[in-house]
Structure 1
Amino acid sequence: MDFSDVVATRRAVNYFDSTRDVSDALLREVVEMAATTPSSFNLQPWSLMVLRGEEEKMRLRKQAMGQAKVSEAPVTLIVLADRRGWAPGTPFAEKNFQEMIKAGAMTEDRRDWFAKACTNLYGTSEESQVAFATKNTGFFTMALMLAARSRGLHTHPMDGFSREGVMKEFNIPDHYWIPLLMAVGYFNEEKELAPPKWRKTYDEIVVTF
């Protein structure tokens, strides 16, 4: 599918075909495509919880205003943004530093510089930590929706849920923020696909002050 077609046909669909599964292989392909998205210092502070079972999806649905698509989609994702993903010594921050050394972009003697830079940029306040985590995870989730569409799938990003309730229900550690849930699957062809919604024009987007 041409990229312009991917963008033009992406929808936040409300109706999923519960009889058509999304294979593990297809989901893996889509996630790994999305994982090529850019991130601050390549820290990649995103994670996913993949829900497939009816029982766990219904548990999530109770925390998500009873939205039917949470349980009707073959796959529902809890998208996690790690507010501590920048912190020196955490597993992926350390892996990132080691990979930068391997790539010749960093040397071991610059470890303190790198740690200080990450801390100053992303860890000086709770606000900056949330901004770091959600900004980068937003890049990833948009790429995930486009990758899914390129493989014939549809998605629906959801903001109507209790973050506290989902955190508690699924034992999610406190250093994560949940920016959204996402249903993934095939559109139910028995329903009518909604037309595209209006979007701002170039002239409406570009501003001066």
Structure 2
Amino acid sequence: MENKVKNNDFSDIIFERKSVRLYNKDTKISHEEMLEMIQEATTAPSSVNMQPWRFVIVESEEEKKKLKPLIRFNTAQNDTSSAMILIFGDMECYEYGEEIYNQAVEENKMSSEVRDQQLEVILPYYKNFSKQKMNDIVKIDSSLVAMQLMLVARSHGYDTNAIGGFESDQLAGAFDLDKERYVPVMILSIGESIDAGYQSVRLNADALTTFK
């Protein structure tokens, strides 16, 4: 797969990122590049490496029409972006535990003994979490990958907007996912910006930080 990174300037990627709401409607992102960006983003950390994030890429006009009534006041992004990336947390992510840890062994990143020891503890632990506890874990982990995906997108020459205003009780079902298993976390619009993005301010670190 050809790497399509256009920008490796860390400062530009971080400090010039803006929330973009208007995009070039004619810009398309290939499935190959979208998967490349997601692969890069999923180097984000997750609790015991369970990787609970799941992605639905809404790019066709038909599917965008289905999404539009569910995203409240964020319709400009839906109308103009190359795609809307729906990020869900998998409440049964532990089902992939053996696959993940087996891959680690195959790639000589973990011994089979360590794999067996960890899975023996982790899998029952995860399966016994309350629904609220698991919900918290998958949302934290999926938010980490969402932020990383926004930065990866900038390195590929695209801009994004993180969207939290949507009908969370309807999103999974609208795209044929089990709403009990897949918890909506965030939607990212992505595309080629035709908008300067919103200028914003941040509170000073000393107002937010306590040293003990």
Corresponding residue SS for 1:207: coil
Whether the 8 Å CA contact 1:122–1:129 is kept in 2: the answer is no
- Single out whichever of 156-165 and 21-30 deviates more from structure 2: 21-30
Whether the 8 Å CA contact 1:101–1:108 is kept in 2: the answer is no
Q: Deviations over 1:18-59 (max 9, x none)?
A: 122222232222111111112222211111011111010111
Q: Using the alignment, how far apart are the partners of 1:104 and 1:145 within structure 2?
A: 28
Matching residue's letter, 1:200: L
Q: Among residues 166, 181, 189, which one is paired with 1:183 in the alignment?
A: 189
Relative to structure 1, the CA distance from residue 119 to residue 35 in structure 2 (aligned partners, 3 Å threshold; closer, same or farther) is: same
Whether the 8 Å CA contact 1:46–1:80 is kept in 2: the answer is yes
Q: Deviations over 1:79-98 (max 9, x none)?
A: 11111113xxx2x2120121
Q: Using the alignment, how far apart are the partners of 2:206 and 2:170 within structure 1?
A: 41
Which structure 2 segments of 5+ residues have no match?
1-6
Q: Using the alignment, how far apart are the partners of 2:188 and 2:161 within structure 1?
A: 5
2:92 equivalent in structure 1: 84
Matching residue's letter, 2:77: K
Structural mapping, 1:1-209, within 5 Å: 1=7, 2-65=9-72, 67-86=75-94, 90=95, 92-102=96-106, 103=108, 105-107=110-112, 111=116, 114-120=119-125, 123-173=128-178, 174-188=180-194, 191-195=195-199, 197-207=200-210
**Deviation of the 1:129 alpha carbon:** 0.3
Relative to structure 1, the CA distance from residue 122 to residue 182 in structure 2 (aligned partners, 3 Å threshold; closer, same or farther) is: farther
Moved over 6 A (4+): none
- Single out whichever of 115-124 and 4-13 deviates more from structure 2: 115-124
Which TM-score applies when normalising by structure 1?
0.87
Whether the 8 Å CA contact 2:102–2:115 is kept in 1: the answer is no
Whether the 8 Å CA contact 1:11–1:154 is kept in 2: the answer is yes
Whether the 8 Å CA contact 2:101–2:115 is kept in 1: the answer is no
Whether the 8 Å CA contact 1:122–1:128 is kept in 2: the answer is no
Corresponding residue SS for 2:141: helix
- Indicate the RMSD between aligned Cα atoms, in angstroms: 2.2
Which TM-score applies when normalising by structure 2?
0.86
Q: Percent identity?
A: 22
Matching residue's letter, 2:89: A
Count, aligned residues = 202
**Deviation of the 1:65 alpha carbon:** 1.1
